[in-house]
Amino acid sequence: MLVSNQFNYNDVRLYYVKGPDNGPPLVLLHGLSDCWKTYLNLIPFILPYYTLYIPDLRGHGKSYRAESYKIIDYTYDIGLFLSSLFNEPVSIIGHSLGAAVALAAAAESPQICRSISLIEPFVFEDRLEDKEFHKYFNNCLEVCEKHKDVDSISKNLKETGTLARKRATDLLKLDKKTITAALDGTVFDGFNLDELLLRVECPVLVLRGDPELDAHTSKEKADYLAKRLNSCIIEYLENSSHVVHVDQPFKAVQFLLNFLNSI
């Protein structure tokens, strides 16, 4: 049901998959070190109602490699993607880094964004001070330096079950500079959260998990976003980690579809 495509605009080359024409366009953006397949659990539930466009961000999956991996760089690519492919406002769902890009895109190009849904958004720089964040991604880099195949990488990652194998597959295709940009903080260069929040005009949904399970978005952070956005709904998913849509796909998709249908 999904067809592979390539978006080309000068030096920007993004791989993406597209679903059948079943309704309004809906763009899904993945998180750091991931790829479009992070949404496989959600796609069957959304596909009947929306025409899906799911790109790999620069440096990820089958998309192009670049010298710079800042949120503003990813946003530049997605801005071109949106303005070139669509002549009507679109809704965007983003997870983690993808949520930061969705937020920035809505601020930079309000005329093209109908709504944005932010799943555990990676928009607060204090996350870079988290020891577990550094430990996890440094482990990813170390494992990839020592091992060069999916089986070996998956056995040495701090993941379990099928998630470890998927993560290993994604890491093999990843430009590791995407991770180093996050670890050294340059990913946030030029990203001014407060300024961007003031410029977002469309309705916003924020899905947050449980900070006790390593979710990024605490109630305080969610409230911070809600107070600064014109229209914002916050939904909390208990027993979910940072990957809310993987831990609880049925509940996540219910919140997402309810929100999208209300726009």
Q: What is the pLDDT of residues 65-120, one digit of tens each?
A: 999 999 999 999 999 999 999 999 999 999 999 999 999 999 999 999 999 999 99
How far apart CA 1 and CA 206 sit, in angstroms, is: 28
In a domain, residue 212? The reply is yes
Sheet holding 12-18, edge to edge: 3-9, 12-18, 51-55, 25-29, 90-95, 113-119, 204-208, 232-236
Query: What residues in the chain have per-residue pLDDT under 70?
Result: 160-162
User: Which secondary-structure segment (H or E) carries 3?
Assistant: strand 3-9
How far apart CA 82 and CA 8 sit, in angstroms, is: 12
In a domain, residue 112? The reply is yes
In a domain, residue 140? The reply is no
Q: Give pLDDT, residue 176.
A: 96
In a domain, residue 162? The reply is no
How far apart CA 225 and CA 237 sit, in angstroms, is: 17
Q: Give pLDDT, residue 76.
A: 98
CATH of the domain at 116: 3.40.50.1820
Q: Give pLDDT, residue 222.
A: 97
In a domain, residue 235? The reply is yes
In a domain, residue 30? The reply is yes
Q: Give pLDDT, residue 1.
A: 85
Q: Give pLDDT, residue 40.
A: 95
How many folded domains does the chain comprise?
1
How far apart CA 190 and CA 71 sit, in angstroms, is: 8
First to last CA, the chain: 26
- The token pair at 189 is 């260069």
Q: Give pLDDT, residue 19.
A: 97
Q: Give pLDDT, residue 166.
A: 87
Q: Give pLDDT, residue 72.
A: 98
Yes or no: say if 67 and 133 are a contact pair by the CB < 8 Å rule: no
How far apart CA 111 and CA 107 sit, in angstroms, is: 9
Q: Give pLDDT, residue 160.
A: 64
Q: Does pTM top 0.85 for this prediction?
A: yes
How far apart CA 69 and CA 175 sit, in angstroms, is: 10
The residue range of the domain holding 237 is: 3-125+188-262
In a domain, residue 194? The reply is yes
In a domain, residue 19? The reply is yes
Q: Give pLDDT, residue 162.
A: 67
How many helices (H) and strands (E) in the chain? Answer: 11, 8
